[in-house]
Amino acid sequence: MDHTIPAATPASKKPGLLINRSFARLWTGQSFSVFGDLIFDMTLLVWVAVLTRGQPWSPLAISGLLVAAAVPNLLLGPIAGVFVDRWDKRQTMLWMDALRAALVGLLVLASNVVPLPFLPGGRLSLGEQLGAIFGVVLLVSVCSQFFNPSRFALIGDVVEPDHQPKAAGLTQASQSIAMLLGPAIAPPLYLVAGVEWALLMNALSFVASFVLVLGVRSPQAARSIAPGERGHFLREFREGWRFTLSNRFSSTILLSLAIVMFGASAFNALDILFALQRLHAPIALYGLLATAMGLGILGGAILSGLFAKRIGLMRLFTLCLLLIGVCILFYSRMTNFWLALPLMFFAGFFQAGLNVAAGPLLLRVTPRELLGRVKSIFDPTTALVTLLGTALVGYLAGAVLQGFHAALLGLSFGPIDTLFTASAVIVLLGAIYTAIRLGFSDPQPFVPAPPAPAEAAMAETLPAPQAPQEALA
């Protein structure tokens, strides 16, 4: 069955709760997939910790799991974008969902839940189990480098520009709900039902995503090369970077997001120490800080998606960047745990607004045939900044600023709160830079150049694409 419709869609139709049927399918599939991924990730951490209990190299095994998931994002991400732009986005998503479902399903065999006749004793050794886990995690992450940019580009195809902020808000909301529920469900599920059920749940989430994506009706995918044309990898790779760094909006948005992720890396590395030492929080209550931020992200995603069009994407992006810096600055001066909770809520709220605005802004200024490459540059860059920032603040807090204490204007400063304050200042400077460079007006949507006269004459001789009956109805 043909699943393409003409690229031009009417803009007058009022959107439903989930905008339209195609986005509803994408959103539902993504919700299943994200929830399954979080169950999968947490289950694997618990599984590896249990398998290596008592071994002196257990921390190395657990960290190796995280490295196996991160390496494809950092190394393969920008490369994958070149191929995503060459291929049909919907077909790419279907292939990646099918591969991920098969890989995770095969990992059930590594749990030794059933005897394997081709092995001595029918069971995998500890080393073989860990090798299977790391290998599947690596390959699943490879598939994600192709799936995520394809999904981003496909949303731009099936959702009209006026409704893309709402789509971004709904996407962010489903992710935040999964982040709140997934870590709470995974350990009990592992202990009560066993690792095989958590693995099967994730495999089935990819199957559900596959079925839902199968029903998506989308325009003819924009491709970086014409059918039958031979691609030139280095040229296409450079085109992605050239556009991202030379376009005023994409380069500034990338820098702004990198700044925020650098500030967030300080929290990832040091927030538990800050909570215990400066906020004097009991260890049993530390999780409430993450819960408060998760609730803030959920609320911010819903409200930002609803009101982004009225506020303006550029205004929402810059103001949220500024307010994130303010929240970090005030949080760094907190000494009371209960007063810090609402600050974490608002930090999550404004972070969601930032994310809701960033995606539609990129879709607005980026040519369709470059969306895969641009998205594949953004994700690894922010991941790399987070990794470097985490390493840097850990080094500064543990070595350079060890034992540091100072007083200024009646305020006392220690190592961790000083780093939080510096992160806040960097974010605030980034917000000021963004406002100066981009202003508060939304960019004009990218309009492709008209075809050359020879190409236009050739197009007139080709038959017009026919819409399937469902689209005509």
Residue-wise pLDDT for 37-78, tens only, equals 888 888 888 888 888 888 888 888 888 888 888 899 999 999
Supply the DSSP symbol for 225: S
Q: What is the pLDDT of residue 457?
A: 47
Residue-wise pLDDT for 187-216, tens only, equals 787 778 788 888 898 899 999 999 999 999
Spacing of C-alpha 58 from chain mean position:
28
Q: What is the pLDDT of residue 452?
A: 52
Spacing of C-alpha 431 from chain mean position:
22
For the chain, residues classed under CATH 1.20.1250.20 are 1-221, 234-443
Q: How far apart are CA 254 and CA 381, in angstroms?
A: 8
**Average pLDDT in the 151-157 region?**
93
Paired sense of beta strands 218-219 and 4-5, if any: parallel
pLDDT range class, residue 13, cuts 50, 70, 90: low
Q: What is the pLDDT of residue 295?
A: 93
Quick check: 462 pLDDT over 80?
A: no
Quick check: 358 pLDDT over 90?
A: yes
Q: What is the pLDDT of residue 11?
A: 43
Residue-wise pLDDT for 113-133, tens only, equals 777 776 676 788 888 889 999
**Residue 440: Cβ-neighbour burial (10 angstroms; 0-12, 13-18, 19+):** middle
Q: How far apart are CA 165 and CA 234, in angstroms?
A: 33
Residue with tokens 């376009």, as numbered in its chain: 247
Q: What is the pLDDT of residue 440?
A: 93
Q: What is the pLDDT of residue 449?
A: 58
> Residue 4: helix, strand or coil by DSSP?
strand
Residues 6+ apart with CB under 8 A from 63: none
Domain 1-221, CATH? 1.20.1250.20
Q: How far apart are CA 133 and CA 135, in angstroms?
A: 5
Residue with tokens 């031009």, as numbered in its chain: 8
Reported pTM: 0.85
Closest by Cα among 55, 57, 364, 2 to 217 = 2
pLDDT range class, residue 347, cuts 50, 70, 90: very high
Q: What is the pLDDT of residue 429?
A: 93
CATH of 234-443, one of 3.55.40.20, 3.40.50.720, 1.10.3720.10, 1.20.1250.20: 1.20.1250.20
Q: What is the pLDDT of residue 343?
A: 94
* CB of 104 closer than 8 Å to CB of 203: yes
Spacing of C-alpha 435 from chain mean position:
25
